[in-house]
Chain A
Amino acid sequence: MQVLYFAWLRERVGAASEEIDPGGAATARELVERLVASEPRYGAAFADMAAVRVAVDQEMCDLDTSIAGAREVAFFPPVTGG
């Protein structure tokens, strides 16, 4: 699946998007745990999960939402538009 990062999450991961095999990750939170275990840059990006929001297939949702069959999962800080 395509995993996207925005704002300081993008900067800390060092990529705007990546093709990632979710493996056994069933939820967005489990996907984060899998990433964090794989490389230190993810540990830095996801150090404070209270400041991480997620969208699955461009719909804002909970970290515990299923990502089964999702094409696009995006991680970003709380929004600050307007």
Chain B
Amino acid sequence: MTVSVQREDFDIAAEIARLSAADADIGAVVSFTGLVRRMTADGPITGMELEHYPGMTERALEAIAAEAEARWPLQGVRVIHRYGALEPGERIVLVLTASRHRQAAFEAAEFLMDYLKTSAPFWKKEDHAGETRWVDARDADDSAMARWKR
């Protein structure tokens, strides 16, 4: 399991290649990439600033990844989350899960994103052509996470 919190962009193909090469028993790699959407519920944005809690962010992502590894038979997990200034179309987050068979990788990737959305300490501030606004948390994200509760 490897977790990174960084300003820089990431190379999806290189990340998949690195994860896949680690274990010859991997039969499936699922990749999720989150992007900055131009159109939001409050209109189009020109950019956003992603704030986070250094130290806790890494710990929270590692805890989420460890929980995924405890629930599914995974051969590898890779999480990258960016922070700082981002523009529409840019990549924000990458989740990779690797397993022998596809079901575990698919389910674990969804679980990771649902948990990350509600428990990793990141906050988005959108820029609507000069007027900045903090993004409100979505109830839909809470209910998406609730289905994984045990």
Residues of A within 8 A of B (CB): 4, 6-8, 55, 58-60, 74, 76-82
B124 at interface by CB-CB < 8 Å: yes
Q: How far is the CB of A78 from chain B (nearest CB, A)?
A: 3
**Partner-A contacts on B (CB < 8 A):** 34, 50-53, 55-56, 59-60, 81, 92-93, 113, 116-125, 134-138, 141
Known: A7-B123, A60-B60. A82 touches B53 (CB 8 A): no
A81 to chain B, nearest CB (A): 3
Asked if B53 contacts A80 (CB within 8 A), the reply is no
Q: Which 9 A-B pairs have the closest CB atoms?
A: A81-B122, A78-B137, A7-B123, A58-B56, A82-B117, A80-B135, A80-B124, A81-B120, A8-B134
Closest chain B residue, CB of each to CB of A81: B122
